[in-house]
Structure 1
Amino acid sequence: MRYLFMLLLVIGNGFLLAQNRVGEINHAEHYNYKLDYRVNYFDKMIFKVDVNTDIDNFYIPKLNYTNDRRSIFSPDEQLKLRFSFDYKFLGISYSFSPDFIPENNYKKADTKTLDLSFKFFYSDRLRQEVIFKQVKGFTLKNPDDLSPIDVFNDLQINTLGGKTFYIMNNNFSYRAYESQTERQLKSAGTFMPSLSYYLNNLYTNNPNHNIESLSRIRSFDLRFQFGYMYNYVINKTWFATGGLHPGIGINASKSYYENSGFTREENNPKVLHYNFDFNFSLGYNHENFFSGISANYKNYQYDNSKISDIMSTKFNALLFIGYRFNEVKGVKKVFETLEKKLHL
């Protein structure tokens, strides 16, 4: 009886593997890529945890507390913890800055952060990202040596935005780099044009009722980049990814001032800016377990004496670890229904 059960188990696993292989072949034929370049894990539910330094600094010249026209406001958190879930076409992540990380305990401002993101593919090569960020509690720093000057616990900045980009080479797997829902089997690169759009709202939450004071800054950024990325397959389990993304954008912002219950609006000059992103990743990618490190550098050149916006430069590093679990039938049924309705 035991041998019969083992035989049935082997046959069942073989049937599932054959089914998955047929699904891969159909997917490759439908989207016109070669099977020896990419293998997908769409039948897996993927959970990932990472520790990262994705902390924004803000240059806010309208709040001029220093001799330099750029007042630098920085949240005191140094590290974020992020949890991600990826399955089929959808990716969801949630991150925050926990106090139990030692580096986050040496702070002056009572900083609280929240990040949410949703990522999905309209098709095999057209990808959409949507993000929401909220940061409250900043330290004003000296522009020369970044030493703390004052604390603004009520200062809050909300960011809502997204990014749409197109992967031009069918054989290149962006999923292998970003979410590990695929694995690159042969080295490949691609040009990748993208359009980003971000709406930032700054709230001072501490107006001076005796004189006119700044209460809010509303800022919108539109950026176009024409980048290139390359997945280098070192061997069956190790990979490296590099990318360069130059671009151009425009910023439009509006300031709101309050005095005794009355609000005055002031349009700031529209400003063109040049931007440049560089990303690099090195990782281990086995059948189910994966891990790695990643780094990203961003440089945005504005005329900061005229506008108020997110930092002009930022370096972000992260360490990630994850595992691919077998899919749950109930979740699979829901996603297959969505795929049919959305024609994905």
Structure 2
Amino acid sequence: MALKKIILTSVIAVICGLSVLAQDRNTTIENDSLQAIIYEETSDYIQIYKNRITAKLYYVDTSNSLMVQDRNSNFYVNLVPNKQNRIGASVAFRSIAISYAFAPNFLAKNKDNEDSKLFNLNFRTYFGKHWMQTLDFYNQKGFYIENKDASIYLPKTKSFKVGGSTSYIFNENFSFRAIATQDEKQLKSAGSFIPGIVYYYSKMDLVAEDPDPEFNLHSDLTTFDIALAPAYYYNFVPTKNLFLSLGVSAGIGLNYSESKDDVEHERLTSLLTEIDFRGAITYDIDNLYLGANYNYLILNHNSDRSSYVKDNIPFFQAYIGYRFKAPRKIVHTANDINDKIIPKSKD
């Protein structure tokens, strides 16, 4: 809860700071530049909702689960988090998009969870026309350990994951924002090759308690993943207001794993493979839009010399949103910040 309060307080402070800075601007400059604010730009392929704040409400079903398989037999176990369904909101302005969601108890899958928790934060930003940066944060408590014969709830087992990707979008006529944040609209069908680097740090604390102390288990698994992940995405526009997108990436890299329990402590560097599937559909009427997107990230690697791990991050989101014009004061403040970061060239 403390982390949630810090994040929410920070967001409020940023918004208030923008308003205060905007009020310090000279009113004459504001009036002179009123007509200069552009709220929409259109090319042959992309409609850009410039200087608009894109906000949406959404329902999301996501988690970070592990399948651990013995390399010498068919034995496996799944570590599945207890709490998955969430509702949330996101806001995007210019190159920054941020979202926040929580798992309310009134949703069916979230009931009777015995103090389980799931907290997830996603951040995405763009640099120029080609570079894209994402950051994901998962903090979970309460897991089921499952196989074909049994399912046991481990309320004290928890996991932490942070990471993301840095990608380069080759085709300027392709809009990834139309998929992720809806502050752009793809007008004509286009595809793009999008190579990237994927990286994640993960920590799993597996705690199994039993009335007999002899059967108690406390094991830690720490991993670091990095992979080169070339991808291809295609945005299909069958009608004016309907948008469809499909994409896949397949990468290869390295995993470093460190596992320890009361008896053993093992470190291992092994081959990592990455597969990520993504699909999206959006229907919009002017500034109102609704849709859904789905992606599934799989990271495969060894955890020790006898075990193989499939690290799964499925993500489904259904949303409804609206694009509205940003207040003039916020636009002016953002322009001032851009001018300070990237000074205009002198003739």
Shift of residue 205, structure 1, vs aligned partner: 6.2
Query: Which deviations, in whole Å up to 9, do the C-alpha atoms of 1:250-298 show, x marking residues without a partner?
Result: 2111124458xxxx8531x212132222211111123211111222233
- Aligned partner of 1:219 in structure 2 is 223
Instruction: Go from structure 1 to structure 2 and tell me whether the alpha carbon gap of 1:127 and 1:310 turns closer, same or farther (over 3 Å shift).
Output: farther
2:286 is equivalent to residue 287 of structure 1: yes
Shift of residue 161, structure 1, vs aligned partner: 0.8
Pairwise CA RMSD of aligned residues?
Answer: 3.1
Query: Which deviations, in whole Å up to 9, do the C-alpha atoms of 1:140-191 show, x marking residues without a partner?
Result: 112x26x52x221111111111210000001111111111010111111100
2:41 is equivalent to residue 39 of structure 1: no
- Aligned partner of 2:77 in structure 1 is 71
- SS for the counterpart of 1:99 is coil
2:230 is equivalent to residue 230 of structure 1: no
Q: Which runs of 5+ in 2 are unaligned?
A: 1-32
- Aligned partner of 1:10 in structure 2 is none
CA distance in 1 between counterparts of 2:218 and 2:258 reads 11
Instruction: Go from structure 1 to structure 2 and tell me whether the alpha carbon gap of 1:99 and 1:187 turns closer, same or farther (over 3 Å shift).
Output: same
- Aligned partner of 2:5 in structure 1 is none
Deviating more after overlay: 239-248 vs 198-207? 198-207
Letter in 2 for 1:182: E
- Aligned partner of 1:110 in structure 2 is 115
- Aligned partner of 1:322 in structure 2 is 321
Deviating more after overlay: 116-125 vs 198-207? 198-207
Contact residue 259 and residue 304 of structure 2 kept, 8 A: no
CA distance in 2 between counterparts of 1:216 and 1:73 reads 13
Shift of residue 16, structure 1, vs aligned partner: 6.7
- Aligned partner of 1:50 in structure 2 is 58
- SS for the counterpart of 1:186 is coil
Q: How does 1:16-35 map to 2 (within 5 A)?
A: 19-20=37-38, 24=41, 35=43
- SS for the counterpart of 1:20 is coil
- SS for the counterpart of 2:174 is coil
Shift of residue 18, structure 1, vs aligned partner: 7.1
CA distance in 2 between counterparts of 1:303 and 1:159 reads 17
CA distance in 2 between counterparts of 1:297 and 1:227 reads 14
Q: How does 1:25-174 map to 2 (within 5 A)?
A: 35-60=43-68, 69-105=75-111, 107=112, 109-142=114-147, 144=148, 148=151, 150-174=152-176
Instruction: Go from structure 1 to structure 2 and tell me whether the alpha carbon gap of 1:310 and 1:44 turns closer, same or farther (over 3 Å shift).
Output: farther
CA distance in 1 between counterparts of 2:338 and 2:226 reads 30
Instruction: Go from structure 1 to structure 2 and tell me whether the alpha carbon gap of 1:20 and 1:331 turns closer, same or farther (over 3 Å shift).
Output: closer
Contact residue 53 and residue 318 of structure 1 kept, 8 A: yes
Number of residue pairs matched by the alignment = 307
Contact residue 222 and residue 251 of structure 1 kept, 8 A: yes
CA distance in 2 between counterparts of 1:309 and 1:87 reads 42
CA distance in 1 between counterparts of 2:124 and 2:231 reads 19
CA distance in 2 between counterparts of 1:258 and 1:343 reads 54
Contact residue 225 and residue 248 of structure 1 kept, 8 A: yes
Instruction: Go from structure 1 to structure 2 and tell me whether the alpha carbon gap of 1:257 and 1:314 turns closer, same or farther (over 3 Å shift).
Output: closer
Q: Which runs of 5+ in 1 are unaligned?
A: 1-14, 26-34
- SS for the counterpart of 1:335 is helix
CA distance in 2 between counterparts of 1:46 and 1:240 reads 19
CA distance in 1 between counterparts of 2:307 and 2:34 reads 55
CA distance in 1 between counterparts of 2:308 and 2:162 reads 14
- SS for the counterpart of 2:54 is strand
- Aligned partner of 1:266 in structure 2 is 266
Over the matched positions of the two proteins, sequence identity in percent amounts to: 27
User: TM-score of the superposition, structure 2-length normalised?
Assistant: 0.78
CA distance in 2 between counterparts of 1:68 and 1:186 reads 48
Shift of residue 104, structure 1, vs aligned partner: 2.1
2:256 is equivalent to residue 252 of structure 1: yes
- Aligned partner of 1:29 in structure 2 is none
CA distance in 2 between counterparts of 1:270 and 1:40 reads 44
Deviating more after overlay: 174-183 vs 41-50? 41-50
Shift of residue 38, structure 1, vs aligned partner: 0.9
User: TM-score of the superposition, structure 1-length normalised?
Assistant: 0.78
Contact residue 64 and residue 314 of structure 2 kept, 8 A: no
CA distance in 1 between counterparts of 2:170 and 2:98 reads 24
- SS for the counterpart of 1:53 is strand
